[in-house]
Amino acid sequence: MQSVAELLSPRARDKNLEIAVSVRGDAPARVIGDDGRLRQILFNLAGNAVKFTEAGGVVIEMAPRPNGRLRFNIRDTGPGVAPEKHALIFEEFTQADAGVNRRHGGAGLGLAIVKKLALAMGGDVGLVSRPGFGASFWVELPLATAPNAEPPPSLSGVRVCVVSPSLLLTQTLRAVVISLGANPVERAAYADVVLLDWHEGVGGEEIDALRRNSRAIIALAPQERRQIIDVCRAAGIEHYTLKPVRRGSLVERVRAALGDQPERAKPAQPIQASTQQPLLGLRVLLAEDNPINALLARTLLTKAGCSVTSAQDGEEAVAVASAAAFDLILLDIRMPRLDGFEAAQRIRAGGGPSAAAPMVALTADAGDEERAHAAKAGMDDFITKPIDANRLLQVAARFTERPNPATFAST
C-alpha cells in the first residue's frame, strides 16, 4: 500500500493535495494474497481519487474485518457521487458525471477492473458518497495473516501531538496513533512527541515553543522533497520521517526520539544495475493518462537513464511523435480523445521522425483480441498493468537496438 501512496504524492503535490495513509494498529503486518491484483486495485482507486480531487486530499485506509478479511478505503475530498449513480460507476465505460469526465478524461474502465479483480479474489467493492462531501471507495478482501508475522507495533501510553496546516493529515495521524495505543494531545498540552508537518510557515519561535512543551519533535517531510531534512536539522530538529507516513516507520521514529531504540538506517532500493546501462540516453515517449501508472513508468525509466517525454492522451502523443524522434514509444490503450491503437496507426502512417520507432502497448487487458488489435495497429509488444518494474525495463532494453521482432509476451 505504501508504494501506491508514495507514487501518488508528487502528482498530488502538483495539485496541492495531501496524501495520507492510515493503517489501523491492529491490522496484521503481513498477509497472504495476490499482491499484483491488490496493487492494481489500489492503483486504480487511488489514481481515480487524485484525478477527480482538486482540493483537500486523499486518504488510503486499511483495517481488519471479521473472518480474516481486510477492508481498504480510498477516501477523497472531491465532488462526490450522487446516490443514483452508485450502481453504475463500476460498470465498464460508465462515468457518474459526464461533465467531470470531460474535464478529467478517462473511460471508466479502471473501476470496472477493480470490481472484477475484487470478485476474482473472493471480495467485494462499494462506494459511500454524496455530492459535495467527497467519496469513499472501499474494497474488502479475504487476506489471511501470514504465519510467523511480527505482532502489530504499539505506542501504548505515548502522548502525541500532531501539528499540521492540513486538517486531513491531522485527523488521519491522530486516528493512527490512537489505534497504536498512544494518547493524542492538543498543542497547548505537554506531549512526549510532536509530529510537526514541515511547511514554509514554520519559524524558529514556533519550534522553540514546541520544544519547551515536549520531549522530542519529529519533522514530517514529503518523500519527494528530502532536502527539507537538512533544513529541519539546521533548525535543531534531529528526527524526521517521510510522508506519506508509514505505520512501522512512525513507531520506529517515535521510539528512537524517546530513546527507547536506535533508528535504523534504511538502505535505498536501486533499480537493478543490469538494466540501467543499456537504457542510458534512451529517448522515450510515454502516453498514459492514469497518474499513478504514468508516474511509476516515468520514475523507473528516468532512474534507468532514459530521457522521458510525457503525453496526456493519444492526440498529444501523435503530435509529439510527429515533431521529434524517439527511440521507444509507450502508449496506453485506453486514453481520452484518441486511444492507443489509433495513435499508433497515425504515428506509423504519418511518416514523421518517430514513424519507425518501436511501440509498446500499456494495457490492463492483454487478451488475444487486444493483442491482435495492437499488432494490426503496428505495435511491437505489450506491458500489462499494474506496471512491473523489471518487465518495463527489460522491454525497454530489448528495443534499444533495431530491428527487434515483436513478441507480445505476457507478464
One-letter amino acid of 223: Q
pLDDT at 217: 95
Domains in the chain, please, with CATH? 2-145 (3.30.565.10), 159-257 (3.40.50.2300), 273-398 (3.40.50.2300)
Comparing C-alpha atoms, which of 149, 150, 177 is closest to residue 241? 177
d(CA 274, CA 272): 5
Q: Is 351 left (phi over 0), alpha (psi -120 to 50) or beta?
A: left
- The answer to whether the peptide bond before residue 244 is cis (omega within 30 degrees of 0) is yes
pLDDT at 124: 95
pLDDT, one tens digit for every residue, the chain (411 residues): 545 766 666 666 666 788 899 999 889 888 999 888 898 898 889 888 888 888 899 999 999 999 889 999 999 999 998 888 887 888 865 554 544 444 444 435 678 889 999 999 999 999 999 899 999 999 999 998 888 878 888 999 999 999 999 999 999 999 999 999 999 999 989 999 999 998 877 888 888 999 999 999 999 988 777 778 888 888 888 899 988 899 999 999 999 999 876 545 444 444 443 434 568 888 999 998 876 678 778 888 888 888 999 998 899 999 999 999 999 999 998 888 889 999 999 999 998 999 999 999 888 765 677 778 888 888 888 888 767 777 888 888 887 654 433 444 444
Using CA atoms, how far residue 83 sits from 55, 165, 301, in Å, is 22, 32, 41
CA dihedral 397, 402, 403, 407 (to 10 degrees): 20
Tell me which DSSP letter residue 146 carries: P
pLDDT at 256: 93
Comparing C-alpha atoms, which of 186, 173, 153, 185 is closest to residue 256? 153
Contact 62, 41 (CB under 8 A): no
Report the SS3 class of residue 310.
Answer: strand
What's the residue count for the chain? 411
